[in-house]
Structure 1
Amino acid sequence: MDHDNSERGRRGGPKSATAAEKAQAREVSLARIGRLFTAHKLSLAVVTAIIVASSVVAMASPFLLRAVIDTALPRQDLNLLVWLVIGMVAVAAVTSALGVVQTWISTTVGQQVMHRLRTDVFAHLQRQSIAFFTRTRTGEVQSRITNDIGGMEPVVTSTATSIASNLTTAIATAVAMLALSWQLSLISLVVMPPAIYLTRKVARMRRAITVQRQRELADLNVTVEEGLSISGIQLSKTMGTASTLVERFTDSSARLIDLELRSELAGRWRMASMSVIFAAIPAIIYLSAGLPGTAGTLSIGTLIAFTTLQAGLFRPLMGLLNVGIALTTSLALFARIFEYLDLPIDVDDPADPVEIDPARLEGHVRFEDVTFAYPGSETAAVAGVSLDVPAGTTLALVGETGSGKSTLASLVARLYDPTSGRVTIDGIDLRDLRLADLAGVVGVVSQETYLLHTTVRENLRYAKPDATDAEIEDAARAAQVHELIAALPDGYDTMVGSRGHRFSGGEKQRIAIARTLLRNPRVLVLDEATSALDTETERAVQQAFDRLSEGRTTITIAHRLSTVRDADQLVVIDHGRVIESGTHATLVESNGRYARLAT
């Protein structure tokens, strides 16, 4: 398609805020995050029940310990001691078994949520129009799907169960402590207000750092994508910029080190001070138990059981505080993911599509007063274009680079929708057709050939997954590329390499032509499809097109007028408007723009 600077400028539009800045400004509701787990309510209920049961069972241990110290040992009751020890082992065994089951269920739920997030983002991006991808860096998109969603995994897979487990354990421990001594319990709980306050401060610090880190990861991805692709490597070697790319990558990686350190160390001193306070509580309890006013009021077994519980309370409380930090930090990641999921669909399936049989369409294409401006542009790329292309005829669009020829071709394939007017096939507005149905009607071969990193056969079968080997070879013969493929060491099973760089430009283009012809579309859009072919090969492919165009509507864009002079209708486009139309002979006779282009 036309990719001159002026047209790219129209497509780019004004510079907008970065995705990271938008994500940072957006607040994510916990309710929306919670809805990700709606489909797993039963599993989460089972996990919660297991956690409660495990916490209740675990609370028996300090009471068993008190009985051992205060009763079994002083009385030398061996039978009681044996049963108490057996009880301790049983409690450990039951809680361990329940923990394994809990981990299995919660991890399964978490991975299913991660799977849904990944697939939802990928599927939603597949529905985005070409305009989105022209203004978005490829590395940025990849970073959202891999780094951002990957960074959310610990939160998604363990947050819900961590909250339930730690909260239940903390509550059960607190109840057991109150049952042993409410006075000592008050001393233990005085640390809670400062702990909560410090946790909130640490969470806010880490969330801000997370936004910066994910933005830097996206930049790193872009550098990898641009510097290590086939095209990027070729460019850096021919321009001598390898050292510059390495320096750019090194600087970005160094900034990541700093951000990772800041993220890990954020609030560590604050949380370390809390650990010291929690560790000092048992000492205060021992001191309280030995004061003149309280001495002798507590048994040794009660004191040991209580301090054991108090030490056990530290773990779930810190766990809850750390979960709060992790959850707040992850909001920055959720914001970036939800930003993509909330992107509007510019070109989408209609709510009430027209049902068609692609094989029964004739392929009569009409442009009815079509105007289109690229997003962010105030100037129309095409304006007031009306064209009638009867079924089975050939329309050739000619004009200077940037005149709007490729824009018209994009509208036929519905890569964009007209700003006003409409494009129809057999009288049906393209916006009333499902995109999948339209793709079965309109086939496009452009000047930019993209081949997948797989075999030649699979590249061709990409257009028609159920195609037989015979159909694949017939399409290759029609595109004058069968003999080339057959001569390869592995024939049709030859790997094409990244983006098809194993083949020359002309060879890639013929493979792409074969791929489109395999679908047998009623309407062919050839956007300078033979631009990379030498004269002899171009002539052979053109003959194949001439044969295959019989009964098929063909819209051709070409700078070489020799390839389109036999078209049924020639249209000259200038600044998005039709300035001449007719056959080659009539346009030459009129001595207008076409005549000057033809000389």
Structure 2
Amino acid sequence: MLDWLVRAIHADNRDQLRRGFEWLYRFVRPQRRAIGGLLALSLLASLLVLLQPWLTKLLIDEGLLARDYGMLVTMALTMILVGVLGTALGGVNRYLHTRLSGRILFALRGDLYAHLQKLSPAFFGQRRIGDLLSRIDGDVAEIQRFAVDSLFSAVSSIIGLIGALIMMLTLSPQLSLLVLVLIPLEVLWLRWMRRKVELRARRVRERSADLSSFLVETLPAMKFIQSVGQERRERGHLDRHSDNYLADLLKLQVTEFFTHAIPGTLTSLTRAAAFLIGGWWVINGQWQLGSLIAFSTYLGMATGPVNSLLGLYVAIQRMSVSLGRVSELRQAPVSITSDETPLQLPADLRGDVEFSDLSFAYPGREQPVFEGVDCRIGAGEKVALSGASGVGKSTLIDLLQRHFDPTRGSIRLDGIDLKRLSLTDLRRAVAVVSQDITLFRGTLADNIRYAAPGASDEQVLEAARQARLGEMIEALPQGLETLMGERGQQLSGGQRQRIA
């Protein structure tokens, strides 16, 4: 099944697409029972829908035209019962469908986010945040829609198509040939259009990522933009991004319109032909009126699923674009990992740090930041690293936390090579006050205890006092429980630095 699906999709990198489907299946597989239950409900709902036109036929031919009032009442009551059951099933189906969709969507997004958490700062330094947001949000949602919505749509369409064809063949084998002629024509048209849809969809995704990146970059910098009077300039940039996005979106809409318009036109011609031929038979007494009405309804039920299945073919092309973009992130290599059997930090950790023949160059750069660094810092010592900008002071701290690994040499903590330690234990043992201030939306207390979620209120207050935040806390309306706003923008630079 997977091989067929990969071959059916026009993709430049089929190996990447295959790995993407394998990743997706990991999250669909645990929901097999829920999917099976929903498919059973869909089957029952489809059977009830197929029953309605046949009841209409009996009501007209055996009730109205035969002047049998008893049959008329019986069919009317049966139609009411079938309608109520269909409505109830539809409500249950929608609830279960939404629950299943949410579970798969959040599982996919959570797994991707967890993978991103393992990647080094070098990865994020080479990526636009807006592009990452577009993939985590929009592309993952597109994949979920295919995995759940399109799956059940396809199953319902197949059941509806088979059931409608059976009923049409029962009513008139000759007129049923119209549908058999229609389907190959629509398939050929969509095969010709699939590459165009994929290219347009990819371009729209890229434009959406450009727009997200622009907003992520400029909104936090709004104070600076206002300070230098560049509001009009940035509005111009936004207009250009929006115009480019709209232009490619309209191209996609036009392409998808023609993709669906031709099959829709063929469907209309088929229904018109069925009415002309069937109507002629009714006029000449060769067919009953109820049969014509029922056949026309079943024809709509058959052509509707055909169009849905062919539309699914187009949706697969769009989904493949999103799956490729997400797979690219999911397959990004994790360069910094814990040892397979990491050593535990000693309970009496002193804090001796030793740099031995340490050299480092950033990924993709030949010029090293520094070479042959040898240094030992004893526990309790206070050491200042001084030097010009770019000589590697902050980089040395990044190496100490293993955000990067040295290209040569080693770093030891109490005589233990950092690579032998658990990443989590190591980073919890190293406290860093960065020049880049990071605060989260929430209360002052939430931010102070961020690295130690289990800290008590007394410990949080003591830490705040040591950071010289006592007067500020007393002046705040709710003290430690005061909401700071996103990135702590309601605070001064010095206050943010002390909290961080």
Fold equivalence (TM over 0.5): yes
1:28-50 residue CA offsets vs partner (Å, 9 max, x unmatched): 24843444311111111111112
**1:365 paired residue number:** 353
Deviation at 1:131, TM superposition (A): 0.8
* Corresponding position of 1:436: 424
1:557 alignment counterpart: none
Aligned residue for 2:411, secondary structure, equals strand
Say if 1:34 and 1:295 are closer, same or farther in 2 by CA, change over 3 A.
farther
For residues 246 and 222 of structure 1, the distance between their equivalents in structure 2, rounded to whole angstroms, comes to 14
Distance 1:473 1:273 in 2: 70
The reply on whether 1:377 has 2:368 as its aligned counterpart is: no
User: Secondary structure, in 3 states, of the residue corresponding to 1:444?
Assistant: coil
Cα 1:504–1:94 shift into 2, 3 Å = closer
On the 8 A contact 2:353/2:414 being kept in 1, the answer is: yes
1:56 counterpart residue number: 47
CA contact (8 A) 1:129 1:345 kept: yes
1:369 alignment partner, SS class: strand
State whether residues 370 and 392 of structure 2, in contact with CA within 8 Å, keep that contact through their aligned partners in structure 1: yes
Structure 2 residue aligned with 1:255: 244
Q: Which residue of 1 aligns with 2:160?
A: 169
Q: Deviations over 1:147-173 (max 9, x none)?
A: 333444543441111111111111111
Q: Which amino acid aligns with 1:353?
A: P
What corresponds to 1:93 in structure 2? Answer: 84
State the alpha-carbon separation in 2 of the partners of residues 63 and 145 from structure 1. 47
What is the number of residues matched between the two proteins?
Answer: 486
Q: Which amino acid aligns with 2:371?
A: A
Alignment map for 1:134-283 (pairs within 5 Å): 134-152=125-143, 154-229=145-220, 232-283=221-272
* Contact residue 454 and residue 496 of structure 1 kept, 8 A: yes
> Does structure 2 conserve the Cα–Cα contact (< 8 Å) formed by 1:106 and 1:161?
no
Partner letter of residue 249 of structure 1?
L
Is the alpha carbon distance of 1:244 and 1:77 closer, same or farther for their aligned partners in structure 2, counting shifts above 3 Å?
same
Output the amino acid matched with 1:106. H
CA offsets 1:451-477 (integer angstroms, 9 cap, x no match): 223332222111221222222232233
Tell me if 1:117 matches 2:108. yes
Whether the 8 Å CA contact 1:203–1:329 is kept in 2: the answer is no
- What CA distance in whole angstroms lies between the structure 1 residues aligned with 2:21 and 2:135? 22
More strand by share: 1
Tell me, yes or no, if the aligned pair for 1:203 and 1:326 is still in contact at 8 Å. no
Partner of 2:461: 473
The equivalences for 1:424-503 within 5 A come to 424-503=412-491
Write the distance in 2 (CA, Å) between the matches of 1:386 and 1:101. Answer: 68
SS of 1:394's partner is: coil
**Cα contact 2:279–2:292 (8 A) shared by 1:** no
Question: Scaled by the length of structure 1, what TM-score is found?
Answer: 0.75
Would the alpha carbon gap of residues 316 and 425 (structure 1) be closer, same or farther in structure 2, given more than 3 Å must change? same
How far residue 113 of structure 1 moved from its aligned partner, in angstroms, is 1.0
* Structure 2 residue aligned with 1:130: 121
TM-score when normalising by structure 2: 0.89
1: distance between equivalents of 2:229 and 2:406? 43
One of 291, 303, 321 as aligned partner of 1:332: 321
Could you give the per-residue CA deviations for residues 255-306 of structure 1, whole angstroms, max 9, x where no partner exists? Answer: 22222222222142353232232122233234444779x9655444333322
Structure 1: how far apart are the matches of 2:83 and 2:189? 33
Task: Give 1:73's aligned residue.
Answer: 64
Q: CA distance change for structure 1 residues 341 and 64 in 2, over 3 Å: closer, same or farther?
A: same
Instruction: Check conservation: 1:68, 1:84, Cα contact below 8 A.
Output: yes
Pair 46,84 (structure 1): closer, same or farther in 2 beyond 3 Å:
same
Which residue identity does 2:387 align to in structure 1?
G
Rounded Cα–Cα distance in structure 2 between residues aligned with 1:298 and 1:338 = 57
Alpha-carbon deviation of 1:251?
A: 1.2
Given residue 461 of structure 1, which amino acid in structure 2 is its aligned partner?
R
| SS in structure 2 of the partner of residue 383 of structure 1 | strand
- The answer to which structure has the higher helix fraction is 2
**Whole-Å separation in 1 of the counterparts to 2:437 and 2:256:** 52
Matched residue SS, 1:377: coil
1:341 aligned partner, one-letter code: R
Amino acid at match of 2:41: I
Unaligned runs of 5+ in 1: 1-22, 513-599
Q: Residues 270 and 347 of structure 1: is their aligned pair in 2 closer, same or farther, counting only changes over 3 Å?
A: closer
Unmatched 5+ stretches in structure 2: 1-9
Question: How big is the shift at 1:481?
Answer: 3.3
Percent sequence identity over aligned pairs: 31
Whether the 8 Å contact between 2:53 and 2:297 is mirrored in structure 1 is: yes
Give 3-state SS (helix, strand or coil) of 1:465's partner: coil
Partner SS state of residue 396, structure 1: coil
Matched, 1:44 2:35: yes
> Is the CA contact (8 Å cut-off) linking 1:198 and 1:271 kept in structure 2?
no
User: Any conservation in 2 of the 1:413–1:442 contact (CA below 8 Å)?
Assistant: yes
Maintained 8 Å contact 1:397/1:405: yes
Task: Determine the C-alpha separation between the residues in 1 that align with 2:276 and 2:389.
Answer: 88
Does residue 396 (structure 1) correspond to residue 384 (structure 2)? The answer is yes
Change (3 A) 1:64 1:478: closer
Amino acid in structure 1 at the alignment position of 2:233: T
2:409 maps to 1:418: no
